[in-house]
Chains A and B, each alone.
Chain A
């Protein structure tokens, strides 16, 4: 387990509190982890892995840069539910999957989905869970978008972890589409929020 991989769940938990500020770092670490997964094999990286890493970088840096101009909403934020759910899911995810003995009996595993690194499965699942909990329970569209991007990072890591990463293209394209649509919608929401607060302060 590399340092980048170990830091990923921590950063995903930080996303709950800090929102889009953490997302570029998460994407960077995800891309690094995706690239480092195959550092043992001597042959050059397949194109699908490069694509997955590139899309992880794009989808984490692009929205954060694009939405940097808009302010957060002033409404009080609800964090507790998201934190509790994500911690519970994280613990359940790591408990349900003892990563040590998972590769011991490959007869149990579905044949095409043998992972390269068993630890990555748990980490990626945890990152996805935290992102999805943020997306569904945290208030505030920008925080929810940060959760969506984190979950996309986790899914990309999962897809790249498979020995035969045929699903990487499909998942990469889907995730990019999702991030684009989400950024567009959240940008419109942020615009609306900004206008309404200005009008409120303007003395109406």
Chain B
């Protein structure tokens, strides 16, 4: 069944006219599953996330990315999002003067027909549900997008957007970095609320800690632009115990 999955096939990619980062990466994330992607610094995890989302500063030299069997390589970032992809950024940017409410209304309407804009009540209810899930309050909606947000608030905003936009596949790029335990729990609660048979996720992290809260179905380890090992959630624990040297020495052998 190629229909219900995000599939990355033999992906080779580099910075536009620059260094090669992904070197033949294969990954399949079926709907209904959460996969973790771990790996040492510089292995290309964040690059993979941005490439899937359609960051124009990278170019794909070989391979394909398929959403439910359809290639998305010819699509701009906005089309990919409307096709059901979502990236929770490691470093969400600030957009001064643009309120979260306004921004989310635009993002939701971009997914709808021009004459079918979201109604005020429906919009309000969608936002309320998401805010509640993240133990946040209404005041957040009137704040400008990430302007003056703490690191933790930015991460929470990324998950708030995920809950409102309801993508089919989400990539969470180090959503746990910079979070204290309470914030980690809150953010994880948000992600878990999104889980279900129609949702697949790739959770990128350095630390096993996050995976106690967002329990993955599968764990992948990435080194130097490729997946080098795939296993169950126990793999993450093993990795945590033994460190990345364990993997690299295995590869060398």
A and B: interacting chains: no
Q: Which residues of B contact A (CB under 8 A)?
A: none
